[in-house]
């Protein structure tokens, strides 16, 4: 069937049963709102292909416009975002050796203090009070585990940077966070959060370089994109990405997010879903054998 994947502001599918192709649309986040549509084989799981023929469409402003321009014969249009039914706090630990038994895929979130991590976690899970938010930097002082739909764990790690704690306490954070990041067998991906409001920070680069040196899979999430103009956000992100290239750092993915507007929620959740084991299909019940004919005389 046909599928349209919007990369940034929203994400949804347009489908038509019986088709052997699917269509992925990548929404560039720029003033001209260009859309590039790619035709790819249904076997291509990503929905995007660098070498595929592309079609540029100008000034698409809404889902309706996108559907009208790119898939006028589509039979339906619906959101395509991983649904989270249950999200609950599991436990907090102060040391790595206190972590619960590794049983499910884990996705960890970490960043400088005051980067907006707790708000982002609440936005992703659609639970306003799941992670405690505070105006005081460094509020997260333990490793927090959250169970998501009994399928995976979201892990909230203590921040680094200018947290208002003692130097000795900050060092303890670093020791236990480092142990978790390098030794946890079920850690699937680390989301390194970067504040889009400010210019690149040295300790962000140092932390990301350390992740790469330790061969820890990571993606970068630019947070608080609603706090500045789009032009300023793009400028800061561009500077940061230039710094990554200069240091030969290559994240798995990059995301632009806002806890206030839900920007980036769909792309991050769908990225996580793509990393999870597939749900087993429900087995069909075996029909009961009917031997009533044998009883007839």
d(CA 174, CA 170): 6
Res. 5 pLDDT band, cuts 50 70 90:
very low
pTM: 0.69
Which range is most confident: 16-30, 123-137, 223-237? Answer: 223-237
Contacts of 76 (CB under 8 A, 6+ apart): 14, 15
> For the residues 221-250, what does the mean pLDDT come to?
96
What domains lie within the chain, and their CATH numbers? 12-79 (no CATH), 87-275 (3.40.50.300)
Burial 142-163 (b: 16+ CB within 10 A, else e): bbbbbbbeebbbbbbbbbbbeb
Strand partners, 258: 263
d(CA 280, CA 293): 37
């Amino acid at each position: 069937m046909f599928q349209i994947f919007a990369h940034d502001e929203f994400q949804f599918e347009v489908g038509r049963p019986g088709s052997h192709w699917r269509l992925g649309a990548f929404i560039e986040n720029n003033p001209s709102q260009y859309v590039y549509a790619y035709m790819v084989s249904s076997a291509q799981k990503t929905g995007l292909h660098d070498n595929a023929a592309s079609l540029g469409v100008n000034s698409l402003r809404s889902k309706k416009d996108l559907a009208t321009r790119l898939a006028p014969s589509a039979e339906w249009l619906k959101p395509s975002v991983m649904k989270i039914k249950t999200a609950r706090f599991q436990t907090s630990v102060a040391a790595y050796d206190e972590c619960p038994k590794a049983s499910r895929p884990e996705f960890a979130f970490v960043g400088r203090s005051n980067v907006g991590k707790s708000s982002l976690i609440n936005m992703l899970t659609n639970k306003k009070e799941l992670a405690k938010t505070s105006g005081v930097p460094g509020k997260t002082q333990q490793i927090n585990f959250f169970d998501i739909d009994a399928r995976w764990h979201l892990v909230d790690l203590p921040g680094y940077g200018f947290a208002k704690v003692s130097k000795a306490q900050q060092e303890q954070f670093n020791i236990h966070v480092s142990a978790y990041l390098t030794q946890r067998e079920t850690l699937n991906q680390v989301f390194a959060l970067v504040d889009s409001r400010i210019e690149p920070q040295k300790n962000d680069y140092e932390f990301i370089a350390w992740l790469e040196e330790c061969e820890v899979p990571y993606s970068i999430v630019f947070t608080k994109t609603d706090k500045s103009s789009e032009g300023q956000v793009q400028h800061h992100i561009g500077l940061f990405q230039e710094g990554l290239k200069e240091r030969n750092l290559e994240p798995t993915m990059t995301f632009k997010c806002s806890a206030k507007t839900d920007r980036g929620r769909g792309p991050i959740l769908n990225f996580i879903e793509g990393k999870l084991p597939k749900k087993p299909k429900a087995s069909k019940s075996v029909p009961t054998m009917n031997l009533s004919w044998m009883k007839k005389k």
